[in-house]
Chain A
Amino acid sequence: MNIIETNGLGKRYGSTWALRECSLAVPAGHVAALVGPNGAGKTTLLNLAVGLAAPSAGGVTVLGGHPAGSPAALDGVAFVAQDTPLYKNLSVADMLHLTRNLNWRFDQRYAEIRLGELGIPLKRKAGKLSGGQQAQLALTLALARRPRLLVLDEPVAMLDPIARHDFMALVLTAAVDDGVSVVLSSHVLAELERVADYLVLLSRGRVQVAGEVDDLLASHRVLTGPAAEADRYAERPVVHVRRGEVQAHLLVRAGADDPVPPRWEAHPVGLEELALAYLREPGAAALPGPTLPGPALPGPTLPGPALPGPARDRALPLEDGEPSEVTR
């Protein structure tokens, strides 16, 4: 079953398309990370998926075919928006009461136990909690609804490292215990590899990469070798080139079984390096083939960049500090 399925989905605000031609099939039972620079369309895509926005083009269904925003979708999907909106004047207990009244399913005991473990007092007003506690509260409310899909929009952006860790631990244990599928957006690439097993990369409103993390990592490598020979690989699916005077690194679409040319070395790629490389090459894409539904498969060669020139470091506005360019 596909937990989120979009078909040519697009959203326009005024004359600007925030999202275009987005076709995804995110399988259930995964923790999917939605990644991209600011303005790439992550929040737009999530808003469409939870029914807060209506598409300008195409459609989106969740939980195996229910239209986004329909009663069945609202029942089975729990959303925590950016900045974790809560009613500041309501106490924590009131927020529990509120969520219980607004949904069919609500596990009051679970919520109270969780909040007790987190040390969040029931009587305190939600506005008086710390940022981390508010995020934990919003997450607890969402999980207590026993959703099948949990959607999180930049959940940890405002949190300190410990709060971040505790937050993700809560999300992931829910995934283990209840089989909740998770879709979370982030622009903190560094932690993704630990957490995500499905990746969707958005850039400028379009999907650049979509697939299982294991498949993506298995189908890409970095080839390191003499810069002079780098041009030889123009026809091969090269995603990104970083080159120095004598040495160059090519991030290519190739598996472990593909032959490595002489004088070249092959290294496996990490998720962060892969994501950054694609973000730097807007023309490149790694998308599943046109057959949906079913789990996404890394497809055949898709338009890659033409002969890459010298290392271009287009600064895309990633909020967190990207690692500075180091010629390895």
Chain B
Amino acid sequence: MPGGRAEASPIEFRLDAASGVPTYLQLVQQVEHALRLGYLKPGDQLPKVRDVVASLAINPNTVLKAYRELETKGLTAGRPGQGTFIQATLSQVALPELAGLRKALLGWLAAAGTAGLDEDGMVALFTSALRDFHERRRSEPQGRGGAASGEKEGVA
């Protein structure tokens, strides 16, 4: 394990092998999460690819893919010969908007409960809708048949 050095990154990656989330995506999410929580600020350096590989035993191309994704999102920038550095923060959502969203969500939860969904069912429904939303955003919008008549939906 690399010891503390002058240029060590503020964060350290971890890997949840059983989560089903692709590795590179976990790294991306961890960076975004760290940004959100303030562990990372613009100008901080992300861990060197070699160090991530050495500590997590993952494929270097995976790390490179994650860093490329972050760069595409505009969150990081690579400096040749030095590493990858944070250059922006996540767009913050304004507090009143956040409150409004939260209220709408609670309303939805109440409606779902009335319809007969238990907690797990709510989570499943939300997760699958989130995935569809994400995919629809990536590709051209296709007419997708109604989100699940969801009685026996399993979650992959």
Contact = CB atoms under 8 A, between A and B. Distances in A.
Interface of A: 30-31, 165-166, 168-169, 172-173, 175-177, 190-191, 193-197, 214, 217, 222, 224, 246-247, 256-257, 259-268, 270, 327-328
B17 A194 contact: yes
B156 A224 contact: yes
Contact of A169 (B55, B61, B149): B55
Contacts of B17: 190-191, 194
Given A193-B23, A247-B154, A265-B148, 16 more contacts: A30-B61, A31-B61, A169-B53, A172-B60, A173-B50, A176-B60, A177-B50, A190-B17, A196-B59, A197-B59, A247-B152, A256-B139, A257-B140, A260-B144, A262-B146, A270-B22
Interface in B22-38: 22-23
A262 B132 CA distance: 13
B153 interface: yes
A176 B145 contact: no
Interface of B: 15, 17, 20, 22-23, 49-50, 53-62, 65, 128, 131, 135, 138-140, 142, 144-146, 148-149, 152-156
16 contacts: A165-B57, A169-B54, A172-B53, A172-B54, A176-B49, A193-B22, A193-B23, A246-B152, A260-B142, A263-B145, A265-B148, A267-B131, A268-B156, A270-B20, A270-B22, A328-B154
A70 B128 CA distance: 54
Contact of B23 (A190, A194, A266): A194
Say what secondary structure dominates the interface of chain A: mixed
B23 A262 contact: no
Nearest to B132: A265
B59 A194 contact: yes
Q: Which 6 A-B pairs have the closest CB atoms?
A: A262-B145, A267-B156, A168-B57, A328-B154, A169-B57, A176-B60
A272 B53 CA distance: 21
A222 B50 CA distance: 34
B14 to A, nearest CB: 13
A194 B62 contact: yes
